[in-house]
Chain A
Amino acid sequence: MTDLTSSLAGAATGAEVPLLEATNLVKNFPIRGGLLGRAVGHVSAVAGISLQVKRGETLGLVGESGCGKSTTGRMLLDLIAPTAGEVLFDGRSLTRTKGKDLAKMRRRFQIVFQDPYASLNPRMTVGATLAEPLKVHFGWDDEKVKARIQELLTIVGLSPEHANRFPHEFSGGQRQRVGIARALALEPELIVLDEPVSALDVSIQAGVVNLLEKLQDELGLAYVFIAHDLSVVRHIADRVAVMYLGKIVEEGPRDAIYASPGHPYTQALLSAVPLPDPRREQARERIVLRGDVPSPADPPSGCRFRTRCWKKLELEEGGVDTSVCVEQEPLLDPAAVGHPVACHFAATRQVV
């Protein structure tokens, strides 16, 4: 609780150290080939991104499959070592901390995976799964561990008697609650949620999303919420970063991103999400992108989005010279439209 109050005080003076800060993160995965399995090229999964997460805040990281959002999430927790760049957690470099010090720090940040069935050990009861981190990190005795497990199960909306059951005995929604309980066990300050509700039916998903929000309010947690579902992200995030092919193309407060997006990709993405409202949905103008996401092994020069950009076409039809899109990589410009956008021709457009 002292952390929370001090951070609030910090926010007031504007001198707050962000809980998590990533600078110029890069991840290249090698493509191996030939007889000796040497690297013959690389997939540029994440190509230099920087972001910050404050205490108690939710950063939504959105983008389509293959844009590098999950790789980013894992680098933030040092589950994948970055090729370049640095992650600071509470002012300390994760990339440079090793061994016991790193193990100690790991208690403070946790992850919840998309598929709760694959991420729980089928041969361990839920109680054993939850007990493991408590014993490893805190060295608690059985009695204390048992009490904490019952408490954890209760706060995630399960029943204490579930501790003796195995993962296959639960429904999908219940399993994801177990995954959340495991992440909460060590009282972390930050949780990376990697598509935590994508595998759930909507009627179940709503309860899990509400639970995450309640836990955040009560425990002062910071979340990095990774998802492809823009509607869920709108609901839960305070700030949103939109990724395309390994880069952040737009970032800002939630309402700015949804009400006045400035990047042509964000605009297309938002306009493609169907609204569950027939009159609005059928009256809506949709930006349909052509083609598919290019291969991250051979990304386009200049702006990575240019091969599918509707705006570039529109400008060319109007006789505007767009060679800058091919020649020069657009950087995130904080002044572009009131929030950072990486586009040479950034301009807001209402699309929802």
Chain B
Amino acid sequence: MTLPAPHVGEVLLSVRDLHAGFTTDDGHVSAVDGVSFDVHRGEVFSIVGESGSGKSVTAMTILGLIPTVEVSAGEVLWKGRDLLTISEEERRHVRGGEIAMIFQDPLTALNPVHTVGRQIGEMARVHEGLNKKQALERAIEMLDLVGIPEARKRAKMYPHEFSGGMRQRAMIAMAITCNPDLLIADEPTTALDVTVQAQVLEVLIEIKDKIDSGIILITHDLGVVAGMADQVMVMYAGHQVEMGTTEEIFYESRHPYTLGLLASLPRLDDVGDEPLVPISGSPPSLIHRPSGCAFHPRCRFAQVPGLCDAEVPELRLVAGDSHRSACHYAETLEGVTIETLRAKADDLELIAPDTAVDA
């Protein structure tokens, strides 16, 4: 059984060989290291990874939202322009108007001293020059669109008077006020309870279809990815390690890290007492990246000494016409599944002793 192909339009955003990092007292942190991807109209492009993998920095860099980030190379192409080189004035026009962002924590992202209606309306005032009254009407319309009951009354309230789920809807309302072509949602439901998460994700998909935009969905929750995404990019220590359609990533992964993530997940639809197989060790420091493949110290398939600790693997086509993996031995992973990993793991491996002393 295959899913019907989603309607996918033209390329909206094209990120090419992006390198971004920070300078700290301890050295240069290379947070994003040579990332390239395209996002199309009408698609949900998901960036998956654990804390510190560089997924948020990638997204924030697209919009120039982190002042301290140093972009050392790369292009972010948007409607024929490179967002990294345009003027701040032009960028302000793109930000919010053409590309909008939905943040993880709506309570810190919303201004506590202004009403929700005023904050949403501000988008329309800045980008479309509406007056105060028109802007408020627009805000009410948007709140209604994201399913907030009694929108007129709610628009006059402050963020602290909203529940978590309603705040996140208000954030979505704000993001779509100017009909953006692309929405960047950074862990949009991580702070929410599951029943509220289900409501918010439903709204997000409806909105995407209504305004015919694309979505970059950043999350660590593989369940959310499975339900929402068309394309998936897996990141580890600032690198793209695997890219493909959702089906390719979940059913035919060709990267040991992706496989490891899937095997470590407890699942609601397990039927017996399937073991959880952890990935040993901890993610590496981005200042002192391991040699060769950054994942090799934690990889059960690594050939060490050998190719894995000597050469950084390139992201390359490994199957189909779009399934890419950055593993030297990607081909040998054909047919390897979660069950393979479960069968291989012994007792010691299951409790994953973490005796590293330089964490």
Chain A interfacial positions (CB closer than 8 Å to B): 64-65, 157-159, 161-162, 165, 169-171, 173-174, 177, 201-207, 209-211, 214, 228-232, 234-235, 258, 268-282, 286, 288-290, 292-293, 352
Contacts and interface: CB of A to CB of B under 8 A. Distances in A.
A213 to B, nearest CB: 9
Contacts of A268: 195
B350 interface: yes
B193 A231 contact: no
A157 B347 CA distance: 12
A157 B226 contact: no
A174 B194 CA distance: 27
A202 B50 contact: yes
A64 B261 contact: no
A235 B266 contact: yes
Contacts of B165: 292
A290 B298 CA distance: 43
B187 to A, nearest CB: 13
B75 interface: no
A276 B262 contact: yes
Given A276-B267, A278-B250, A281-B227, A204 B199 contact: no
B354 A171 contact: yes
Contacts of B224: 274
- What 4 pairs between A and B have smallest CB-CB spacing? A274-B223, A207-B352, A207-B278, A157-B353
B236 to A, nearest CB: 10
Query: What's the dominant secondary structure at chain A's contact region?
Result: helix
Contact of A276 (B199, B222, B347): B222
B51 interface: yes
Given A288-B198, A292-B164, 12 more contacts: A158-B353, A177-B354, A203-B260, A206-B278, A209-B276, A211-B352, A234-B266, A235-B270, A274-B197, A275-B269, A278-B247, A289-B198
B64 interface: no
Contacts of B50: 201-203
Nearest to B3: A282
A204 B359 CA distance: 14
27 contacts: A64-B193, A64-B195, A64-B196, A157-B355, A173-B354, A174-B282, A201-B51, A202-B222, A202-B261, A204-B352, A206-B264, A206-B265, A207-B351, A214-B350, A228-B193, A232-B266, A234-B270, A235-B266, A258-B268, A268-B195, A274-B221, A274-B227, A276-B265, A276-B267, A279-B247, A281-B223, A288-B195
A248 B5 CA distance: 43
Given A210-B278, A235-B276, A279-B1, A174 B354 contact: yes
Interface string B152-175: 000000000001111000000000
B276 A288 contact: no
Interface residues of B, number: 57
A234 B260 CA distance: 20
B196 A275 contact: no
Interface string B183-208: 00000000001111111001000000
Interface in B1-15: 1, 3
Nearest to B263: A206
A210 B269 contact: no
A201 B275 CA distance: 17
Contacts of A169: 359
Contact of B250 (A210, A270, A274, A276): A276
Nearest to B273: A235
A292 B226 CA distance: 25
Nearest to A176: B354
Nearest to B246: A278
A124 to B, nearest CB: 18
A272 to B, nearest CB: 4
Nearest to B282: A171
Nearest to A177: B354
